[in-house]
């Protein structure tokens, strides 16, 4: 069966990856059944609705001729049920009188049931795709028309349910609820799965993953971000606000270079890893540790004596941005199950000459790259699939590991972070 997917007008580059992960603004997809269409769409954030596709053409008469040929309207279940007609015009509009005239032209369908405008048994729709700026240009007809029967709606309302405006605990870097939910979809969060965010902050990604049923874990280099300001204003408080506290697996203080998680090729436990790593713009990137332990033995000893105290703040040292990206891939390769997904956000320039390349790893296949632009720079959502070990090239893995040894160079924040360097020397000066 063919179905028409009606996307929202937001985050265009994320639309197809989200639909592909779950299995123009209009997209025709082929699915085995109506139930399959409902299952596909019920958790999609970037889809308004899905319709059973009856016909599509460039003119109204040709559209109606197609309907007559398919004879879908002659099915017995549509002859006596209540129904209504609706319009969905993209980039164009019609007067009320024009809409009524078009609806009346479908009289050949000969439905015998009552017209009910609120909660009818069936809803039929005329979808129109107009040329850009059609009103300004005086264009009077759409480029293409579709006709279909409403099958189900997407989960657009979830963005409002989880909006940061109503969340009890957030920070300036908390991920927008809509994009967090889309990220969770692309990473295939679902019941029975374990997900982890190594840069958890105020918990936007674990909350999104747990909404879809995943058991979520998280860590952050700054424990104060996790603990917040009390029971309500904390990561746990956010989970409790949405009634999903039972899906909070745990939160702890760590970074990827100093983690309590056992990393072993025989013990890969996560089904998904999702994160928005720090970009290191306002301040340089840091990891736990001393810059020079031999020159600061007192700091090491203080850590051994005071690390168990709740007010202890461990020392930090500068961290390379590119090394961080490699560490995310290496950690994920060592902890994700076969076919598990890694989805993380990465900043980059809009200028192709300055663009930071998408990180690669022999254990991963890139399944989606989505981009959100901010004038001079962008951030990309990159999603990977963990390739089974049997399909990973040992030579490529060895070469990648040896290459990483050469990664960290420099000592200042700008030397260690090419994006930060571009941000201050190129973006802000333009």
Report the predicted TM-score, pTM, of the whole model to 2 decimal places: 0.81
* Kind and range of the H or E run holding 297: helix 297-306
Q: Is residue 310 domain-resident?
A: no
Highest mean pLDDT out of 95-99, 259-263, 420-424: 95-99
pLDDT band for position 23 (cuts 50, 70, 90): very low
Q: Is residue 376 domain-resident?
A: yes
Highest mean pLDDT out of 10-19, 140-149, 318-327: 140-149
Compute the average pLDDT of residues 134-142.
88
| CA–CA gap between residue 329 and residue 346 (Å, rounded) | 13
Whether 245 and 336 share a structural domain: yes
Domain count across the chain: 2
Whether 141 and 165 share a structural domain: no
Whether 362 and 219 share a structural domain: yes
**Among all chains, which residue has been given the structure tokens 């985050």?**
11
Whether 31 and 150 share a structural domain: yes
Q: Is residue 294 domain-resident?
A: no
Q: Is residue 275 domain-resident?
A: yes
CA neighbor of 180 nearest in space, from 198, 206, 215, 205: 205
Compute the average pLDDT of residues 261-288.
81
Compute the average pLDDT of residues 210-225.
93
Nearest-10 Cα torsion for 424, 358, 18, 57: 100
For residue 352, the domain's CATH number is 3.40.50.150
pLDDT band for position 150 (cuts 50, 70, 90): very high
- Residues 352-355: contacts with CB within 8 Å, 24+ apart? 354/422, 354/426
Q: Is residue 205 domain-resident?
A: yes
Whether 344 and 281 share a structural domain: yes
Helix segments in 42-175, DSSP class H: 60-70, 96-104, 134-137, 157-161
pLDDT band for position 34 (cuts 50, 70, 90): very high
| Domain end position, chosen among 154, 180, 198 | 154
Q: What is the pLDDT of residue 92?
A: 87
Q: Is residue 304 domain-resident?
A: no
Provide the domain limits for residue 172. Answer: 161-285+320-429
Whether 280 and 403 share a structural domain: yes
Whether 144 and 178 share a structural domain: no
**Among all chains, which residue has been given the structure tokens 């240009």?**
137
| Domain end position, chosen among 107, 137, 154 | 154
Whether 119 and 185 share a structural domain: no
Helix segments in 54-124, DSSP class H: 60-70, 96-104
Highest mean pLDDT out of 27-36, 226-235, 329-338, 397-406: 329-338
Whether 171 and 145 share a structural domain: no
| CA–CA gap between residue 276 and residue 353 (Å, rounded) | 24
- CA triplet 285, 11, 199: central angle to 5 degrees? 25
Beta bridge partners of 102: none
| Domain end position, chosen among 104, 138, 154 | 154
| CA–CA gap between residue 299 and residue 414 (Å, rounded) | 26
Q: Is residue 333 domain-resident?
A: yes
Whether 62 and 98 share a structural domain: yes
| CA–CA gap between residue 111 and residue 312 (Å, rounded) | 73
- SS3 state of residue 353: coil
For residue 20, the domain's CATH number is 3.30.2130.30
Range scoring the smallest mean pLDDT among 8-17, 89-98, 384-393: 8-17
**Higher-pLDDT residue of 282, 109:** 109
Q: Is residue 353 domain-resident?
A: yes
Compute the average pLDDT of residues 218-228.
88
**Higher-pLDDT residue of 198, 231:** 198
Whether 349 and 231 share a structural domain: yes
pLDDT one-digit tens code per residue, 177-199: 999 999 999 999 999 999 999 99
DSSP-derived pairing of the beta strands 144-153 and 215-220: unpaired
Range scoring the smallest mean pLDDT among 231-240, 245-254, 341-350, 356-365: 341-350
Compute the average pLDDT of residues 239-268.
90
Q: Furthest-apart CA pair in the chain: how many Å?
A: 88
Whether 167 and 84 share a structural domain: no
């Amino acid at each position: 069966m063919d179905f028409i997917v009606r996307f929202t007008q937001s985050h265009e580059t994320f639309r197809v990856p989200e639909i592909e992960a779950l299995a123009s603004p209009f997209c025709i997809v082929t699915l085995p059944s109506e139930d399959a269409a409902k299952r596909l769409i019920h958790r999609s954030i970037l889809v308004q609705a899905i319709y059973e596709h009856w016909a599509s053409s460039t003119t109204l008469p040709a559209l109606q001729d197609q309907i007559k040929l398919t004879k879908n309207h002659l099915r017995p279940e549509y002859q006596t049920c209540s129904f209504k007609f609706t319009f969905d015009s993209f980039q164009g509009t019609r007067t009320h009188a024009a809409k009524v005239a078009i609806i009346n032209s479908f009289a050949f369908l000969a439905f015998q049931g009552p017209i009910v405008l609120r909660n009818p048994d069936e809803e039929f729709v005329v979808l129109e795709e107009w040329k850009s700026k059609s009103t300004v240009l005086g264009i009077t007809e759409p480029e293409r028309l579709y006709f279909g029967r409403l099958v189900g709606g997407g989960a657009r309302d979830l963005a409002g349910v989880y909006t940061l405006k109503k969340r009890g605990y957030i920070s300036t870097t908390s991920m927008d609820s809509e994009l967090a939910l889309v990220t969770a979809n692309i990473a295939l969060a679902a019941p029975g799965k374990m997900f982890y965010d190594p840069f958890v902050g105020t918990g936007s990604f674990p909350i999104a993953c747990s909404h879809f049923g995943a058991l979520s874990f998280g860590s952050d280099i700054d424990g104060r971000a996790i603990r917040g300001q009390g029971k309500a204003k904390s990561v746990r408080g956010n989970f409790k606000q949405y009634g999903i506290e039972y899906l909070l697996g745990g939160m702890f203080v760590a970074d990827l270079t100093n983690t309590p998680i056992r990393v072993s090729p025989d013990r890969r436990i996560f089904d998904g890893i999702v994160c928005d790593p720090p970009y290191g713009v306002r301040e340089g990137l840091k990891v736990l540790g001393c810059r020079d332990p031999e020159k600061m033995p007192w700091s090491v000893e203080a850590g051994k004596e005071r690390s168990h105290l709740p007010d202890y703040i461990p020392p930090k040292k500068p961290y390379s941005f590119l090394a961080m990206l490699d560490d995310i891939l290496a950690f994920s390769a060592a902890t994700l199950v076969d076919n598990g997904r890694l989805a993380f956000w990465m900043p980059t320039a809009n200028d192709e000459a300055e663009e930071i390349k998408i990180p690669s790893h022999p254990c991963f296949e890139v399944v989606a790259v989505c981009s959100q632009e901010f004038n001079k720079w962008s951030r990309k959502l990159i999603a990977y699939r963990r390739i089974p070990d049997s399909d990973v090239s040992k030579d490529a893995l060895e070469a990648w590991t040896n290459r990483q040894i050469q990664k960290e160079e420099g000592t200042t924040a700008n030397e260690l972070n090419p994006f930060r360097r571009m941000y201050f020397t190129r973006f802000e000066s333009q």
